[in-house]
A and B are shown apart, each in its own frame.
Chain A
Amino acid sequence: MKNFVKALMSLFFAISVTTSSWAVVMVSWGGAYTESQKLGYGDPAAKKLGIPIDWVDYSGGLSEIKAQIAAGAITWDVIDVYAMDTIVGCDEGLFVEFDFDKDFPPAPDGTPASQDFFTTMPSKCAVGNILYSWTYAYHDEKIGSKKPKKIKDFFNTKKWPGKRGIYKSAMHNLEIALAADGVKPRKGGSKLYEILETDAGLDRAFNKIKELCEDPNGGCVFWSAGAKPPELLMQGEVVMATGWNGRFFNAEIGEGAPLKQVWDAQGLDYQYMSIVKGGPNQADAMKAVAEMTSTHGLAGSAKYIAYAPWRKSSLKVIEAGEPWYKDGKTNMMEQMPTHPNNTKNYFLVDPIFWADNSTEIGERWEAMKAGL
């Protein structure tokens, strides 16, 4: 029966394969993000290499690619994934493992790729694409004269009564809870995860969130789509909301909304590219990914969105080319999550911790939400 289902599924996929099957199929999240990728490095790379790149939207998760591989009819070549997904995907054998310095070009000054990227990769199947940040923001006109500055202020419902918008899952919320509770993240945030590994530390983080959400002066609105936090702030549904810096940037600079971001205890997180094992154009896909994640490739996408390139050398390209933003007047460097002004107090979201613990913490998180 399994073989039969397999055959049936391959039939469906075979039908869905279009005439452009010789192009590299790049799967990403759609919207402004895909647009920045396409304009920033996709189109230039395609032009340079002579390899057409087709962009396909998906909504995250590995179920589709797992199903494609199970059916033996793979149509995707490159996937833009979360850290956790590259780990799971790599472990499951869905992705190609990289030989990093051989597969990716060095920086213009000759620094090998592995040195040029900010941190090591969470799995052998991942190459960094952009860095984004979890920050929080408020409505500058509605907040009153006193402005929040620290992560503590996000939890201060006496000074700033009103609801808070937070992400629907535990990820990043527990970290900022600890940071607001007085834990110094230490460089890279390792202290936070050390504490979260212990039961007492987990309780501490959970209690802090619970306190905020149960506070009659506070309360939580959970968001799931990235477009939601700026919207909630603009509509006055919440006084402060966590969110992704690129979205806040887009609302503030791109659309001129009176929103202000607070970078204290920001959580740096990454987006990766992985190549599907046995994809239809694996060799071309490798070339395209190498070109897109080159120094100039990564710098290109920052023209269109406030997410930082992974390569240190790309930052130099941006700095030299300021004002880099597509409107021709906004300096991008200070909008970058990696800018020194923004990284006075920060942590790196730890994919290994979350890959390890997301199920258990997730269950506890849902149990807490259910009790609210």
Chain B
Amino acid sequence: MSETDSFVKFKKVDKSYDGEILVVKDLNLDVAQGEFLTLLGPSGSGKTTILMMLAGFETPTNGEIYLDGEAISNIPPYKRRIGMVFQNYALFPHMTVYENLSFPLKVRKVSKDETDKKINKALSMVSLTGFETRMPGQLSGGQQQRVAVARALVFDPKLVLMDEPLGALDKNLRESMQYELKHIHESLGVTVVYVTHDQGEALTMSNRIAVFNEGKIQQLSNPDKLYEEPVNSFVAEFIGENNTFQGEVSEISGNKCRVKLGSGDEILANPISVKLKGDKTKISLRPERALINPEEKIENKFKGKIEEVIYHGDHTRIRMNLLGKSQFILKIPNSSARMDLKLGNEMIIGWHSKDCRALDLT
């Protein structure tokens, strides 16, 4: 992606609040027009700061941010034409839904007819037609959030920022809102930068996800790649579930390496961050990639003992002791052909070397 055709561009941006600690370090990030980009990371990773710099509430300590090809560091927030949805909704409590939505239109001196039309459209988009005269206090949390979304979109902003907008909702509502937001994004084609610490949310909605830790992007890619092919152990552990083994590379050639574990066993793995024999490594394996009673010639094949069985409705989780590690997790779909999952039973577990990624040791 070249500098000109990226819609939002962070160029070498640093941010520090106190002059001692860099909250954001040398950030280079491009967002394409119409893209749904999620900034994902634990709290304190700098993702909200990035959003605030984009919105104009914080100034970069160094570097420049471009929006639609224009440097925006010196443009005040109210001139940036960026819609924003806040975690606590930030609806104006003394105004009705209609007044909340008309606020951005009024300051832009949009005519009354046009205002009504836009508000109708925005409200129907979030299925809240007829709620114009309600006060925010009379709405449920989900309804308030939808008003907040409608308000952020009603003035046709160039870009919409969302700062953990679903964080305060309960689980079911959160999931249905995820789909709703996704559909709104798809139908409007507006560019969205979304901040969350919830990986499920990020995976469901985004075109691309930037995983942050300690002010730096750890990995930037589309959801499936992020999940299937994490580039380091932070990403692997932060996204989804993970079985890990620590060890040392004893042999490496091409796209395979042999790792010797502390227990003395050896695993064939896919070398991602290791390059040389003797490198320390952490091996990551997704639970669903571990196979039970695999075919004979699979590369890794070990015997384990079931220590715990947890029923989850659609699947069953099994914790077993494998290769001297008692935290090995397996996910088994609850099909009709149920296996003999009993405490203390022994099973053969195997996996392919390409599924088992040898990452950095942190």
Whether chain A touches chain B in the assembled complex (some CB pair under 8 Å): no
Q: Which residues of A contact B (CB under 8 A)?
A: none
Q: Which residues of B contact A (CB under 8 A)?
A: none
